[in-house]
Amino acid sequence: MTENTGKGASRRQFLAGAAALGAGTVAASVAKAAGPDPLITEVQEWATGLGDGVDATPYGLPIHFESDVRRRNVGWLTADTISSINFTPIHALDGTITPAGCAFERHHSGAIELAKEDYRLMINGLVDTPLVFTYADLERFPRENHVYFCECAANTGMEWAGSQLNGAQFTHGMIHNMEYSGIPLRTLLEEAGLGAAGDLKDKWVYVEGADASSNGRSIPMEKALDDVLVAFKANGEALRKEHGYPVRLVVPGWEGNMWVKWLRRVEVMDQAVESREETSKYTDTLADGTSRKWTWVMDAKSVVTSPSPQMPIKHGPGPLVITGMAWSGRGAITGVDVSLDGGKNWQKARLGAPGAKNALTRFYLDIVWDGSEMLLQSRAHDETGYVQPTKKQLREVRGENSIYHNNCIQTWWVTADGKAENVEVS
């Protein structure tokens, strides 16, 4: 429900909610509505004229009432928008699929425009036959569809030292979850032939993009041959320019930086390159000043998306839907717990659908809110048995010098007036 929903509409939804929850819970407040509602008793403007014809919007956009549901950046985080990041409005979304139009963007040298006709993908290095594929070539290989999340390793990175950004969009919005159509990288590597590489166990691929930054990353051959996709469609349509049109790499469960956009080259190598993006950046500085490297996998994590600072409770005490999302780069989410009191007591949330490997899972906790303040938290479990850590537990092993891979439990302080704020319970 948004502030744009008319009074009548909100009452209709309220009635539907009451029916679903069973009579008694909210029926009393509905009965109190006094006098005829003109939205029901009077013929409205939208019923006396004609609506738009079918071609009014050849490619549809969200209705203007929903214009607040959009990507946002945080000006002070980066010097300019060229090498920067914006955030998915996760607070306002439901289900699991991220619409491409509001899926976060992260560029190191801006989003480039690269036409399909100008697209080339080179496979070289320790292969039997170096190959170059055009876009039309790629379309002729057998393809697969998979839903995967892509999370920047810096997601939640501003929260290490204390609570900072006031909204789930800003604390956890460097993530999107789409259905990709693409070719297994394995297929293309095998097309070039891996005989020349010898024993594949200690081999790597180095992947780079066509943009000025190139964003080169080394990936162990084992992963390259496992589930990595060379993708050209997301959510059924061509990738958006900002997400790597016409072709990007999809590296399931691993940090977003490895998902090279505008993919132009895959080189088979006998060692890692140790490029900028895997040494000076995307390594995790520990308390003693040394850094962890090769921390590719995104550990299990979750966040309550509503209520949250951008999604206050407007309806007062009574039935309340608490919802959020959970994900893990190590496998499927098996459960999510929700706490209303800062982690003292936990309740099992309901999963919107069974967790799927390396994809977002939606969770719900439907409660009757008594109007008292809450310290809302969520805690994810994945199929490896891993449990999302508290901030204290994470700091014990990782210190506070890091930016990347902060997957600790998030707290929203919900006050009696329904407003929510980002606070730290460690």
Question: 404 with 318: CB under 8 angstroms?
Answer: no
Question: 174 with 152: CB under 8 angstroms?
Answer: yes
Distance, CA of 198 to CA of 186 (rounded, Å)? 16
Q: Which stretch binds ligand MTE (CB under 6 A): 165-173, 257-265, 330-338, 413-421?
A: 257-265
Of residues 106, 143, 172, 217, which one binds Mo ion by CB under 5 A? Answer: 106
Smallest CA-to-CA distance from 165 within 79, 75, 255, 83 is with 75
Q: Rule CB under 6 A: is residue 259 a binding residue for ligand MTE?
A: yes
Please report how close the Cβ of residue 137 comes to ligand MTE at its closest, in angstroms.
20
In angstroms, what CA-CA distances link 58 with 55, 69, 237?
5, 21, 15
- 243 contact choice in ligand MTE, Mo ion, none (CB below 5 to 8 Å, kind-dependent): ligand MTE
Which CB sits closer to ligand MTE, 176 or 362? 176
Q: Rule CB under 5 A: is residue 378 a binding residue for Mo ion?
A: no
Please report how close the Cβ of residue 259 comes to Mo ion at its closest, in angstroms.
8
Q: What is the DSSP string of 166-199?
A: SSHHHHH-SEEEEEEEEEEHHHHHHHH-SGGG-S
Annotate each residue in 105-134 with x if it binds ligand MTE (CB under 6 A) or - if it does not, as one string. xxxx--------------------------
- 259 contact choice in Mo ion, ligand MTE, none (CB below 5 to 8 Å, kind-dependent): ligand MTE
Question: 412 with 423: CB under 8 angstroms?
Answer: yes
Of residues 243, 362, 395, 398, which one binds ligand MTE by CB under 6 A? Answer: 243
Distance, CA of 1 to CA of 126 (rounded, Å)? 56
Please report, as residue ranges, which positions from 171 to 190 form the binding site for ligand MTE (by CB under 6 A): 176
Dihedrals φ, ψ of 300, to 5°?
A: -60, 140
Q: Rule CB under 6 A: is residue 247 a binding residue for ligand MTE?
A: no
Total residue count of the chain as it appears in this document: 426
Q: Rule CB under 6 A: is residue 96 a binding residue for ligand MTE?
A: no
| 3-state DSSP assignment of residue 266 | strand
Of residues 157, 253, 256, 418, which one binds Mo ion by CB under 5 A? Answer: 256
Smallest CA-to-CA distance from 184 within 244, 142, 216 is with 142
Of all residues in the shown chain, the one whose CB is closest to ligand MTE is 209
Q: Which stretch binds ligand MTE (CB under 6 A): 41-49, 180-188, 209-217, 350-358?
A: 209-217
Q: Which stretch binds Mo ion (CB under 5 A): 8-16, 120-128, 219-227, 252-260?
A: 252-260
- 125 contact choice in ligand MTE, Mo ion, none (CB below 5 to 8 Å, kind-dependent): none
Q: Rule CB under 6 A: is residue 265 a binding residue for ligand MTE?
A: no
Q: Rule CB under 6 A: is residue 209 a binding residue for ligand MTE?
A: yes
Measure CA 388 to chain center: 17
Which CB sits closer to ligand MTE, 118 or 370? 118
Distance, CA of 204 to CA of 217 (rounded, Å)? 10
Q: Rule CB under 6 A: is residue 150 a binding residue for ligand MTE?
A: yes
Please report how close the Cβ of residue 154 comes to Mo ion at its closest, in angstroms.
6
In angstroms, what CA-CA distances link 127 with 139, 200, 250?
22, 11, 22
Of residues 146, 223, 261, 362, which one binds ligand MTE by CB under 6 A? Answer: 261
Smallest CA-to-CA distance from 278 within 301, 255, 248 is with 255
Which chain residues interact with ligand MTE by CB under 6 A? 104-108, 150, 152, 176, 209, 211, 213, 215, 242-243, 256-257, 259-262
